[in-house]
Structure 1
Amino acid sequence: MKLVIGNKNYSSWSLRSWLLLSHHELPFEEVRIPLDQDDTYTTLAKYTEAGKVPVLQDGNLTVWDSLAICEYISEQYLEGRGWPSSVRARAEARSCSAEMHSSFPAIRGQLPMNCRASQRHVSLSPDLAAEVVRMDRIWSKYREAYSRFGPWLFGEFSIADCMFAPVASRFETYGIGLSEMASQYMRCLLSHEKVQEWVEQARAEPETIEMAEVGI
């Protein structure tokens, strides 16, 4: 397999599929295409007509979009273990992942992922504050419900954890306050060996995307 990603410092969507592959130690070749460069879209066009990262190539099959890639990996290589084993947990994990995929525009726009940055401060708009509350509620509710099965959001590590890992990075960068249960889950995500590997590599990247450098 070949996984095409953007800058590790900024590309939250790239982290999601990369983390699922890396957590399960599936072999893949990593192709990094820096974003917001003069040749970004020309280079991406070699891999996808969508013009976005990530992209997974598996033989002559191309899969794009983080959630679609994760679903494919789960079906093709993990015998469905990308999702929790129980029907209820699987349905709830899919619902949370789909909400993350389609919602939270204020978090995306006002708290861009920036692994190199620390102790950045931004003013929370009403929309952003409401989304933080919603995120806290998701993390607290399911962490409490499934804590007896393991340390992840639904006990077992799943695609849902991959979907929320970039949010944990964002909240860490901007010092977003959370409830104790949600904070515990955030620390669990950030302490994942592969997440730490991603962050270490992100901090070594030379590129700077000015529009993602927010906060003081």
Structure 2
Amino acid sequence: MSLPVLVIGNKNYSSWSLRPWLLLRHFGVAFDEVRLLLDTPGFADGVRHHSPTGKVPALHDGGVHVWDSLAICEYANERWLDGKGWPQDRESRALARAAAAEMHSGFVALRTQLPMNSRRTPDAYRWDAAAQRDIDRVQDLWRQLREAHAGDGDFLCGGFGIVDAMYAPVAIRFEGYGVEVDATARAYMQALFALPALREWREAAAAETESVAATDAVRAPL
């Protein structure tokens, strides 16, 4: 029986690809990986064979085809995780789903002005008030979830799950752009960065040689 195939972009830049990849790898789901290089002439030709939206990630599992990060996570939760991707408690599960959906559809200023760049190190670059409001909202949300699950584990709802996979790229952004965070956010980010699966992704991102010029150009003026 063939393994499912996850189609992703560059590990250094593709935040949406990271989310389902991290969930699958953390829970030990075996899969084959196809990496398409973003912002290259071959990307459009390659991605049309895998995704009707022309975007990554996409998952192929036999005859099942899923082409959205959160939908892939939901499919994986039903297919391989036996529901472990969400908290078992109904109220906690509702909060986790709301937080994941907020990340999926919101924080546009944050995502635009602090694009995913795992190799980035902080400099004097700064963002506008809209992005700062997104940053503040993320920290408020993290604090709310961590306070509700104090003592249950190191992640937003205790154990690692889909909601954490959705916010892992935000933690990378906060670190790379030198965002000032509170103690709760700092501890949560450290827990994410300690995950073997996330360490594997970041090591692979650091080893990539490709560049997306527009993203790499998001730096403080010389």
TM-score (norm 2): 0.95
Could you tell me whether the CA contact under 8 Å between 1:8 and 1:201 is conserved in 2?
A: yes
Between the two proteins, what is the percent identity of the paired residues? 46
CA contact (8 A) 2:47 2:54 kept: yes
Aligned to 1:202: 205
Name the counterpart of 1:114: 117
The answer for the alignment partner of 2:27 in structure 1 is 24
The range that moved more, 189-198 or 154-163, is: 189-198
Q: Partner residue of 1:215? A: 219
Note the alpha carbon deviations across 1:137-159, whole angstroms, 9 max, x for none: 01111112102111110002110
Aligned match of 1:50 in 48, 53, 62?
Answer: 53
CA distance in 2, matches of 1:58, 1:169: 29
Give the corresponding residue for 1:63: 66
CA shift for structure 1 position 126: 0.8
Q: Deviations over 1:37-64 (max 9, x none)?
A: 0110110111122100000000011101
The answer for unaligned runs of 5 or more in structure 2 is none
Q: What's the counterpart of residue 86 of structure 1?
A: 89
Give deviations 1:112-161, integer Å, cap 9, x for gaps: 11111112332221101111110110111111210211111000211000
* Cα pair 1:168 1:186 within 8 Å, conserved: yes
**Cα deviation code 1:60-84 (max 9, x no counterpart):** 1110110000000001111111101
Aligned to 2:103: 100
Whichever residue aligns with residue 27 of structure 1, its letter is A
Amino acid at match of 1:136: Q
* Residue identity in the other structure for 1:149: D
Q: Confirm or deny: 8 A CA contact 2:52 2:67 kept in the other structure.
A: no
CA RMSD of aligned residues (A): 0.9
2:76 to 59, 62, 73: 73
The match for 1:159 among 156, 159, 162 is: 162
> In 1, distance between residues paired with 2:171 and 2:120?
13
State the AA in 2 paired with 1:53. V
Does the CA contact (< 8 Å) of 1:122 and 1:174 recur in 2? yes
Q: Is the 8 A contact 1:144 1:181 kept in 2?
A: no
Using the alignment, how far apart are the partners of 1:113 and 1:37 within structure 2? 17
Q: Which 5+ residue runs of structure 1 have no aligned equivalent?
A: none
- Structure 1 runs, 4 residues or longer, greater than 2 Å off: none
1:137-148 alignment to 2 at 5 Å? 137-148=140-151
Q: Which amino acid aligns with 1:99?
A: E
In the aligned structure 2, how far is the partner of 1:59 from the partner of 1:25?
Answer: 19
CA pair 193-70 structure 1, distance change in 2 beyond 3 A: same
